[in-house]
Amino acid sequence: MARTLSAIRSFYKYLHRNEIVDANPARAVGAPRLEKYLPGYLDRAQIDLLFQMAEVRAWEGKFVDVRSLAILELFYSTGMRLSELQGLSRGELDVVSQQVKVRGKGRKERIIPIGDHAVLAIRNYESKRDDLLRALGPKADRNALFIGNTGKRLGVRGIQKTVTKFLAQIDEEAGLSVHSLRHTFATHLLDAGADLRAVQELLGHASISTTQIYTHTSIERLKRVYDKAHPRA
């Protein structure tokens, strides 16, 4: 209904601009209220299980498994979008100062801190990546952060396949996706008492209303705060 109404408005706007009709009657019609999509996310037990599985695989030392752990850790540590992680270059990530520069929507840049677990996973991956780059020689992409076995930048589909493979083992029926890690990042920060504005900045949302969709998951925390703080709770 909303899409149809938008098309009608645009059509009458065109007619009015070209003086085919005297006015745009569709302007006075209110749009239906759209329900906000409730994103899927992992609880603390699920996220612990996810990294346990990834760490066990990475301990074997295979390049792909070490890379998988680094990707999962970076997603959960920063909450960045799939396209943002896929487009990362080596110079944009600083493991010493533990931060990464991300180019988001509209080419807007933001700085996101990186946690200790992610830094360790990335350092291990960088060691394996450097070994692969030396073996491949000059034909490899030395600028990309995440590369495939051929030395080329890892594509969006490759990252999706890496992440969803692990998520399916957590809950195959939940329909979890790469974006679920972004939702999980925001949810866990808010559950721990993080400021909504800070989470908005970390996620790179232009409007705080976009970030507010995550507050539904924090209702239990708010209830605990209320019970503890309100004199007649």
Active-site amino acid positions? 81, 105, 179, 182, 205, 214
Q: How far is CA 75 from CA 5, 62, 128, 173, in A?
A: 38, 20, 19, 22
DSSP the chain: -HHHHHHHHHHHHHHHHTTSSSS-GGGGSPPPPPPPP------HHHHHHHHHHHHHHHHT--HHHHHHHHHHHHHHHH---HHHHHT-BGGGEETTTTEEEEE-GGG-EEEEE--HHHHHHHHHHHHHHHHHHHHHGGGS-SSBSSB-TTSSBPPHHHHHHHHHHHHHHH-TTTT--HHHHHHHHHHHHHHTT--HHHHHHHHT-SSHHHHGGGGGGGHHHHHHHHHHH-TT-
Q: How far apart are CA 210 and CA 81, in angstroms?
A: 14
